[in-house]
Chains A and B, each alone.
Chain A
């Protein structure tokens, strides 16, 4: 969407949708980008590149705000974050370089596929046995998964928490809260790396990114407080429904505009 077309109601609309994305994201331990990107594209007709950049900024801000709390509580495992950040950044830089040349339609289709996969996983979620310790093989697998998370994050503008949390809790045997805190820390630099490369490629739109980041920051605070009152199963079902609706809206946008 060109800068000149942004009116005050659209600005408030973007902020409101970002609050919703931030609240949902915080309730599920995600950055919120997976909700924000399809809504910006489908509801506000924002260009795919601008939506992806806005989402990366929002994810970065959410990560900083969340890390502030988790670091104060001492639950972020910086040692594990240190080991995992390098492969993640390699993936993120590669993803941003590919993403800055990738056709917007391909990004939308990939995003719709990701949404459908997440919805399916949420509806069929069952507890997996976690590992008792981390050995060399598990670290190698974790590094590979983080490389993929970085790639996915920068290509689609999502945080990557969908991959980091299972890697940390299931592969590397971190407790759930430590896994969520460390994932929150990891997504910050990952999103910043991709956003910087997209900004360099001329895909930065501050008029969309700033209200989105402010909205998601507010939403994350609300979501963190509300989450304890919402039953987990209900939350998963509502989130899966939102993912399905978003996937439908994205596919509709692809069919309509290409």
Chain B
């Protein structure tokens, strides 16, 4: 285990790019939703902004999982990918009680 105060984790370069792009898109869409667009456009932009954040979190986790596997951290990588798969499964299947 590395030194407690000095440890650095070089993983996550691609994940960072993914998060940055998603966050920028969210801010653009969210701020854009308050401009006087034609009728009916605003609601779409707001919902799109929200969905962007969820997609970004999912994409960041998936990319981090692949990044971990590529760097030979196979089990944590697979765990992240399984978490993403579980979210997608719950979402698309519309599972409910």
- Report which A residues bind B (CB closer than 8 A): 57, 60-61, 63-65, 67-68, 71-72, 74-83, 85-86, 88-90, 93, 96-98, 100-101, 133, 173, 175, 178, 188-189, 191-193, 195-197, 199-201, 204, 206-207, 209-210, 213-214, 217
Contact = CB atoms under 8 A, between A and B. Distances in A.
Contacts of A96: 90
B42 to A, nearest CB: 9
Interface string B69-97: 00001011101101110110011001111
Contacts of B95: 97
The CB with the most chain A CB atoms within 10 A, among B56, B76, B96, is that of B76
A65 B16 CA distance: 10
A213 B16 contact: no
A88 B79 CA distance: 11
21 contacts: A60-B54, A61-B23, A64-B26, A64-B60, A65-B23, A68-B19, A71-B12, A75-B9, A76-B9, A78-B67, A82-B80, A85-B79, A85-B80, A86-B79, A88-B83, A93-B86, A189-B57, A192-B54, A199-B50, A204-B50, A206-B50
Nearest to A68: B19
A3 B34 CA distance: 15
Given A83-B79, A188-B57, A210-B50, 12 more contacts: A65-B23, A75-B8, A76-B9, A78-B9, A79-B73, A82-B68, A82-B77, A83-B76, A85-B83, A192-B58, A200-B91, A210-B33
A98 B9 CA distance: 36
A188 B10 CA distance: 20
Contacts of B68: 78-79, 82
A196 B90 CA distance: 9
Interface of B: 1, 4-5, 7-13, 15-16, 19-20, 22-23, 26-27, 30-31, 33, 43, 46-47, 49-50, 53-54, 56-58, 60-61, 64-65, 67-68, 73, 75-77, 79-80, 82-84, 86-87, 90-91, 94-97
Nearest to B93: A200
Contacts of A189: 57-58, 60-61, 83-84, 87
A100 B9 contact: no
A100 B8 CA distance: 40
A78 B11 contact: yes
A82 B90 contact: no
Contacts of B20: 68
Contacts of A82: 64-65, 68, 73, 75-77, 79-80
A93 B95 CA distance: 10
Ordered nearest first, which 9 A-B pairs have the shortest CB separation? A82-B76, A206-B46, A192-B57, A89-B83, A71-B16, A74-B8, A71-B12, A192-B54, A193-B87
A212 B58 CA distance: 21
The CB with the most chain B CB atoms within 10 A, among A76, A96, A196, is that of A196
A254 B43 CA distance: 31
A83 B64 CA distance: 12
Contact of B82 (A78, A86, A175, A204): A86
A200 to B, nearest CB: 6
